[in-house]
Structure 1
Amino acid sequence: MKIADSADWRGSLPFDSPVLVADLAPGDAARCAACGADAEPLPRTELWAVKHRHPKNHSGFVRFYCAEHTPRVPAPAPVAVAPVRARRAPAAERAPRRPAVTDAAPRAMCPDCFVEVSATGECGMCGLQVA
């Protein structure tokens, strides 16, 4: 199954950054995701949209929050510097390469089933003895 990206206002939101809902999309009042279903709907000028990451959907998901429940923006993580890798040994010091599979002698095939036969010469499909 291929997951297709939708082309709506949610795709342009940055991850984990609160954006005022009134600036994104017009509409009726909505509820804060943290306040619960019993809370009164708030006007869009008082709600913040936050796009969260999702482990199975690369587009993430968007939730609306009131000013009290808006998640804090995480500080950027320090960038770790990768250690310097050791230089590869010259070709003469490395282990010799094994021959490619294509260099091996061709194995016997069953003329009826078109499968390789085992070392005993007997086809595993039909039982025919191949020399």
Structure 2
Amino acid sequence: MATEQLSAADVIASANAARQNLANLERELQDEIDVIDFTAFKAKRQLTAEENTRRRERRATQAEVREGFRVLAFVTARRLDETAEVKKLLRDITTINDGLQDDLAKLKKLENYAKVAAKVADTLAKAAERLAQAAAKALL
């Protein structure tokens, strides 16, 4: 069975739809909790045992929905990793990184050559200075 290759846009659209569904569910749960709280507040009383139970159940479900957001994020990231666009991007980044590694190696060689050239130039400058001093003494 061949698996359909989704585009990054498809994965993101699907994740956004799932996220919206989770957000709607969380809002509905919060609305139910607010109704429970407001009903007791309007009646100027504490929550009943049944209201406390319903409220705890809604809060527990909200926690599960929030966990669903985290799971959705990880699943979306994994699905994005499988898209052709992300795979190409990773290949391109690897190619660029390899090129940068080569450039760095060349720059390190140039740095070493520059150090050697600086030493040679320093040695030549010192030798020229000594020759100049010797020539100046010979003329005196």
TM-score class, shorter-chain normalisation, is: under 0.3
User: If the length of structure 1 is used for normalisation, what is the TM-score?
Assistant: 0.19
The structure in which a higher percent of residues are strand is 1
> Relative contact order (alpha carbons < 8 A, sep ≥ 6): 1 or 2 greater?
2
User: If the length of structure 2 is used for normalisation, what is the TM-score?
Assistant: 0.19
